[in-house]
């Protein structure tokens, strides 16, 4: 079974568990949600080749090309589908952007990449679990349409992941899987009902985030369009300045300042946090989760400097998200996410109902 | 190969649903004397429910201990979802009931943080408590089209009483409505028992007969299907018929339309190649609560609440 930390206070106990386990040997390779993890016999290039085979089979609309376990499970945007259905019918070509995240210990690989669907660029977040050289789990998020096409084009231009993501952490500086997950989880905990009063030292000064290929921090390029309130999206500002009385966060701000502003409060609940893939050599954590926007009381809040603000979406909805974190020296630096909008409160297809509703980390 | 297998499964599942619907509940006299909660009582539950939603307070309701609540196919706790955002009721309320089943339904205009949306709710009442709450909320953000301005008054056909001697059995009503979904799947309006003047309103917008200026012109509901313009709807499954209001000749179907988006165009006889529509861009489904008025064994009016969903997202009640 996947591990879940159980207590009324997720964060407190999570940290407690870390302290308790901090000097202990690393836990055995975490099992996937279906249990039964065997020592991995698939190294980095082996895992990546499974991704390549998968993408080839996908655009050929032919899952029979893949080495699959008998009871392989497939989900697309949180829904259990038969392999061959959904994106398997519509994928029309491969893309140039390929970002592999390997967890040789767990026999899992994540892939963020661009693809084509009926001639339109889309983004995919893919997780494969490989057992005895066969694929036993396939989890995908496909981001399409207005929310993804521009960003997919951006990633195509980038051509490859940011170099820092792929750099090895010097062996002497590597930390445990749990330490890496703990740092990533501070991001979700800090954003959930953000009040601007937390300790955000877990952000590196150079932290930068891409969401569906769009740079959503430190970006002074106007996005255009409207905010969730229907008002024109203001031009980005370079620095968070409470004296200007901002009511929405800006993509021009740093990762840390977006949290410091308290203006992410409308993200009411970040739940079903599954940290499925950890690459210790590179200091990368791949988490899945859901960002709920309750759109009720959570629209009304106070900024850290005591100003009442009403902001955020006016109708309930949920982002289904796969988020990739680069962790160095206990801080987050590069962040990259693939997300798609789903019905409010949706579940992933990989967790029980209680886990789906919980904000406690699972790994 | 996969496609064929899936079609077979879908067809079998659809047939199974119809079969179950036909046999699970034998036809009963419409005004079952044994019903513990009659039409007035059921509608009162609906009103209580709507008031409690707007008050953001489920504690105002007589809820069964293990009440099940879904919004747009997702199981939530009462108090969440629309309960947190509803800011007022509109004037439009269309009630329908099946007293023998303890089933109450409503289409209602609702305000959500000041913006109108259409709510479809189904309640099940057992022992004068609410045991099930199933809802769909058509919001501008979650549907391809919506116009709440048109929902000013309930159309009279939905309120007319059918003379007792003219009331088909539950199974017959369900079978007639089932033909509508078969007709969409097969692109064949001829197999559907449409009244020649059938009107369909979806999310507040009349979609058949069409506007003379629309791409298909003013075709009837049946003729529209026969153009095969709707064949992007590969399957309509699952299908449920949770409320049959025999007294008024109404059937509520809650179904899922599945759009695999494998092609974007269709050849329409006499019109050439046409784009299939909003739902053919990429794989998705719509969950639909559709209310049918059946009169003289014909489908006379249709009113639907439609929400776009991830492809094959469960409705929460399978």
Whole-number Å distance between alpha carbons of A218 and A196: 18
* pLDDT of amino acid A40: 57
Q: Is the pLDDT of residue A17 over 90?
A: no
* Number of domains present in the structure of chain A: 2
pLDDT band at B283 (very low <50, low <70, confident <90, very high): very high
Q: Inter-chain contact A344–B56, Cβ cutoff 8 Å?
A: no
Among the ranges given (A181-190, A322-331, B22-31, B155-164), the one the predictor scored with the smallest mean pLDDT: B22-31
**Residues within 8 A of A (CB atoms), B 256-295 only:** 260-262, 264, 281-283
Whole-number Å distance between alpha carbons of A251 and A261: 12
Residues A252-282 have pLDDT tens digits of: 999 999 999 999 999 999 999 999 999 999 9
Q: Which CATH architecture has domain B2-27+157-309?
A: Roll (3.10)
Nearest to B76 among A83, A86, A345 (CB): A345
| DSSP character at residue A4 | B
Q: Is the pLDDT of residue B313 over 80?
A: yes
pLDDT band at A222 (very low <50, low <70, confident <90, very high): confident
3-state secondary structure of A21: helix
Could you tell me which residue, A28 or B196, shows the higher pLDDT? B196
Residues A51-110 have pLDDT tens digits of: 999 999 999 999 999 999 999 999 999 999 999 999 999 999 999 999 999 999 999 999
In angstroms, the separation between the Cα of residue B71 and the nearest Cα of chain A is 8
Whole-number Å distance between alpha carbons of A180 and A275: 10
Nearest to B261 among A76, A90, A299 (CB): A90
Nearest chain A residue (CA) to B286: A343
Q: Inter-chain contact A90–B283, Cβ cutoff 8 Å?
A: yes
- Judgement on whether residues A150 and A204 belong to the same structural domain of the protein: no
Best mutation target among A60, A72, A86, A315 (most B Cβ atoms within 10 Å) is: A315
Could you tell me which residue, A3 or B120, shows the higher pLDDT? B120
* pLDDT of amino acid B11: 37
- The strands making up B86-98's β-sheet, listed across from edge to edge, are B74-75, B63-71, B129-138, B115-126, B103-112, B86-98
**Residues within 8 A of A (CB atoms), B 121-160 only:** 139, 141-142
* pLDDT of amino acid B278: 66
pLDDT band at B174 (very low <50, low <70, confident <90, very high): very high
- Judgement on whether residues A110 and A186 belong to the same structural domain of the protein: no
Q: Is the pLDDT of residue A22 over 90?
A: no
Residues B175-192 have pLDDT tens digits of: 999 999 999 999 999 999
Query: Phi, psi at residue A88, to the nearest 5°?
Result: -60, -25
**Residues within 8 A of B (CB atoms), A 317-336 only:** 317
- The pair of structure tokens assigned to B179 is 């033909």
The pTM assigned to this predicted structure is 0.88
Domain boundary among A163, A186, A203: A163
Best mutation target among A58, A81, A345, A349 (most B Cβ atoms within 10 Å) is: A345
Query: Could you tell me if residue A363 is inside a domain?
Result: no
Query: Could you tell me if residue A33 is inside a domain?
Result: no
Residue with the two structure tokens 């706790």: B77
Residues A143-171 have pLDDT tens digits of: 999 889 999 999 999 999 999 999 999 99
Domain boundary among A101, A134, A163: A163
- Judgement on whether residues A168 and A157 belong to the same structural domain of the protein: no
Residues B63-92 have pLDDT tens digits of: 999 999 999 999 999 999 999 999 999 999
Q: Is the pLDDT of residue A8 over 80?
A: no
Instruction: Provide the domain limits for residue A323.
Output: 10-22+164-357
Average pLDDT over residues A302-312: 95
Closest CA to B135 of B50, B93, B72: B72
- Judgement on whether residues A278 and A249 belong to the same structural domain of the protein: yes
Whole-number Å distance between alpha carbons of A176 and A189: 20
The sign of the torsion formed by the CA atoms of B66, B71, B74, B77 equals negative
- Judgement on whether residues A67 and A146 belong to the same structural domain of the protein: yes
Whole-number Å distance between alpha carbons of B194 and B175: 13
Average pLDDT over residues A183-211: 98
Nearest to B84 among A76, A145, A316 (CB): A316
How does the average pLDDT of chain A come out, rounded? 89
What's the start-to-end Cα distance of chain A, in Å?
A: 9
Residue B30 vs residues A61, B97, B100, B121, B229: alpha-carbon distances, Å: 51, 11, 8, 22, 38
Contact with chain A for residue B309, Cβ under 8 A:
yes
pLDDT band at A233 (very low <50, low <70, confident <90, very high): confident
Best mutation target among A87, A293, A297, A344 (most B Cβ atoms within 10 Å) is: A344
Q: Inter-chain contact B113–A299, Cβ cutoff 8 Å?
A: yes
- Judgement on whether residues A109 and A231 belong to the same structural domain of the protein: no
Domain boundary among A114, A136, A163: A163
* pLDDT of amino acid A37: 44
* pLDDT of amino acid A177: 97
The sign of the torsion formed by the CA atoms of A90, A93, A96, A102 equals positive
* pLDDT of amino acid B27: 43
* pLDDT of amino acid A2: 55
- Judgement on whether residues A95 and A196 belong to the same structural domain of the protein: no
Q: What are the chain B neighbours of A83 within 8 Å (beta carbons)? A: 2
Q: Inter-chain contact A345–B74, Cβ cutoff 8 Å?
A: yes
Query: Phi, psi at residue A283, to the nearest 5°?
Result: 65, 40
* pLDDT of amino acid A228: 61
| Bridge partners (DSSP) listed for residue B68 | B132
* pLDDT of amino acid A38: 47
Contact with chain B for residue A82, Cβ under 8 A:
yes
In angstroms, the separation between the Cα of residue A189 and the nearest Cα of chain B is 21
Q: Inter-chain contact A343–B142, Cβ cutoff 8 Å?
A: yes
Query: Could you tell me if residue A132 is inside a domain?
Result: yes
pLDDT band at B266 (very low <50, low <70, confident <90, very high): confident
In chain B, beta strands by DSSP E: 63-71, 74-75, 86-98, 103-112, 115-126, 129-138, 194-202, 205-208, 235-245, 250-259, 265-268, 272-275, 284-295, 298-309
User: Would you say A79 and A66 are in contact if contact means Cβ atoms under 8 Å apart?
Assistant: no
Q: Inter-chain contact A296–B309, Cβ cutoff 8 Å?
A: no
Q: Is the pLDDT of residue B25 over 50?
A: no
Q: Give the CATH number of domain B39-138; options: 3.10.450.50, 3.40.50.720, 3.40.630.30, 3.50.50.60.
A: 3.10.450.50
Q: Inter-chain contact A315–B85, Cβ cutoff 8 Å?
A: yes
- Judgement on whether residues A155 and A232 belong to the same structural domain of the protein: no
Whole-number Å distance between alpha carbons of B309 and B137: 12
| DSSP character at residue B300 | E
Query: Could you tell me if residue A48 is inside a domain?
Result: yes
User: Would you say B155 and B165 are in contact if contact means Cβ atoms under 8 Å apart?
Assistant: no
Q: What are the chain A neighbours of B141 within 8 Å (beta carbons)? A: 315, 317
Query: Could you tell me if residue A270 is inside a domain?
Result: yes
- Note whether ipTM > 0.90 here: no
Query: Could you tell me if residue A86 is inside a domain?
Result: yes
Query: Could you tell me if residue A212 is inside a domain?
Result: yes
Nearest chain B residue (CA) to A63: B2
User: Would you say B243 and B171 are in contact if contact means Cβ atoms under 8 Å apart?
Assistant: no
- Judgement on whether residues A244 and A324 belong to the same structural domain of the protein: yes
In angstroms, the separation between the Cα of residue A9 and the nearest Cα of chain B is 21
Nearest to B311 among A79, A117, A299 (CB): A79
Q: What are the chain B neighbours of A316 within 8 Å (beta carbons)? A: 71, 80-82, 84-85
- Judgement on whether residues A50 and A158 belong to the same structural domain of the protein: yes
CATH 3.10.450.50 segments of chain B: 2-27+157-309, 39-138
Query: Could you tell me if residue A191 is inside a domain?
Result: yes
- Judgement on whether residues A170 and A135 belong to the same structural domain of the protein: no
Whole-number Å distance between alpha carbons of B291 and B244: 10
Residues B198-240 have pLDDT tens digits of: 999 999 999 999 888 888 889 999 999 999 889 899 999 999 9
Whole-number Å distance between alpha carbons of B259 and B284: 5
3-state secondary structure of B221: helix
Whole-number Å distance between alpha carbons of A87 and A74: 11
* pLDDT of amino acid B265: 84
* pLDDT of amino acid B299: 98
Could you tell me the CATH number of the domain that includes residue A66?
3.10.450.50
Contact with chain B for residue A63, Cβ under 8 A:
yes
- Judgement on whether residues A192 and A305 belong to the same structural domain of the protein: yes
Q: Inter-chain contact A316–B85, Cβ cutoff 8 Å?
A: yes
Contact with chain B for residue A146, Cβ under 8 A:
no
């Amino acid at each position: 079974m996947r591990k879940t930390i159980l207590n009324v206070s997720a964060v407190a106990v999570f940290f407690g568990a870390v302290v308790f386990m901090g000097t202990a040997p690393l836990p055995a390779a975490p099992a996937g949600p279906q249990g039964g993890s065997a020592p991995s016999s698939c190294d980095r290039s082996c895992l990546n080749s499974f991704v390549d085979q998968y993408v080839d089979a996908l655009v050929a609309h032919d899952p029979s090309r893949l080495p699959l376990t008998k009871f392989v499970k497939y989900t697309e945007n949180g829904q259990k589908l038969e392999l061959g259905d959904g994106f398997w019918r519509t994928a029309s070509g491969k893309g140039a952007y390929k970002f592999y995240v390997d967890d040789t210990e767990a026999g899992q690989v994540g892939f963020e990449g661009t693809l084509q669907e009926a001639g339109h660029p889309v983004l995919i977040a893919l997780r494969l679990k490989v057992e005895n050289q066969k694929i036993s789990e396939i989890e995908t998020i496909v981001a399409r349409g207005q929310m993804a096409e521009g960003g997919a084009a951006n990633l195509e231009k980038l051509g490859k992941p940011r170099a820092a993501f792929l750099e090895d952490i010097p062996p002497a500086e590597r930390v445990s899987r749990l330490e890496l997950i703990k740092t990533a989880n501070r991001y979700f905990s800090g954003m959930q009902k953000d009040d601007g009063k937390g300790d955000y030292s877990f952000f590196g000064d150079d932290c930068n985030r891409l969401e569906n290929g769009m740079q959503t921090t430190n970006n002074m390029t106007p996005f255009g369009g409207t905010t969730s309130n229907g008002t024109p999206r203001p031009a980005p500002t370079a620095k968070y300045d409470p004296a200007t009385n901002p009511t929405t966060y800006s993509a021009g701000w740093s990762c840390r300042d977006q949290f410091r502003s308290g203006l992410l409060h409308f993200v009411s609940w970040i739940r079903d946090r599954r940290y499925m893939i950890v690459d210790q050599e590179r200091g990368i954590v791949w988490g899945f989760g859901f960002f709920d926007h309750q759109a009720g009381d959570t629209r009304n809040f106070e900024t850290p400097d005591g100003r009442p603000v009403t902001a955020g979406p006016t109708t309930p909805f949920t982002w289904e998200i796969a988020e990739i974190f680069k962790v160095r020296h206990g801080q987050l630096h590069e962040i990259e996410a693939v997300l798609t909008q789903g019905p409010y409160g949706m579940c992933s297809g990989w967790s029980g109902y209680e886990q789906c509703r919980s904000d406690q980390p699972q790994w | 190969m996969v496609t064929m297998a899936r079609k077979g499964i879908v067809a079998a599942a659809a047939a199974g649903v119809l079969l179950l619907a036909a046999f699970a509940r034998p036809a009963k006299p419409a005004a079952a004397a044994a019903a513990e909660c009659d039409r007035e009582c059921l509608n009162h539950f609906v009103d209580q429910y709507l008031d409690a939603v707007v008050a953001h307070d489920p504690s105002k309701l007589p809820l069964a201990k293990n009440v099940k609540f879904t919004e747009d196919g997702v199981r939530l706790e009462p108090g969440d979802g629309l309960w947190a955002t509803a800011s007022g009721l509109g004037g439009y309320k269309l009630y329908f009931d099946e007293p023998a089943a303890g089933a109450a339904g409503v289409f209602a205009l609702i305000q959500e943080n000041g913006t109108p949306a259409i709510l479809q709710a189904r309640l099940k009442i057992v022992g004068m408590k609410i045991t099930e709450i199933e809802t769909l909320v058509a919001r501008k953000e979650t549907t391809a089209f919506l116009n709440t301005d048109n929902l000013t008054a309930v159309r009279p056909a939905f309120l007319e009483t059918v003379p007792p001697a003219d009331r088909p059995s539950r199974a017959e009503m369900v079978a007639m409505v089932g033909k509508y979904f078969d007709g969409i799947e097969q692109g064949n309006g001829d197999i559907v028992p449409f009244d020649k003047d059938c009107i369909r309103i979806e999310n507040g917008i009349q979609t058949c007969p069409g506007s003379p200026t629309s791409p298909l012109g003013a075709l009837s509901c049946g003729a529209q299907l026969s153009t095969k313009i709707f064949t992007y709807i590969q399957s309509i499954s699952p299908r449920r018929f949770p409320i049959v209001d025999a007294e008024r000749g109404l059937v509520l179907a809650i179904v899922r339309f599945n759009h695999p988006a494998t092609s974007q165009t269709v050849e329409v006889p006499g019109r050439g190649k046409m784009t299939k529509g909003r739902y053919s861009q990429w794989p998705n489904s719509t969950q639909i609560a559709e209310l049918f008025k059946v009169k003289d064994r014909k489908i006379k009016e249709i009113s639907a609440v439609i929400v776009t969903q991830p492809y094959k997202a469960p409705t929460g009640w399978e």
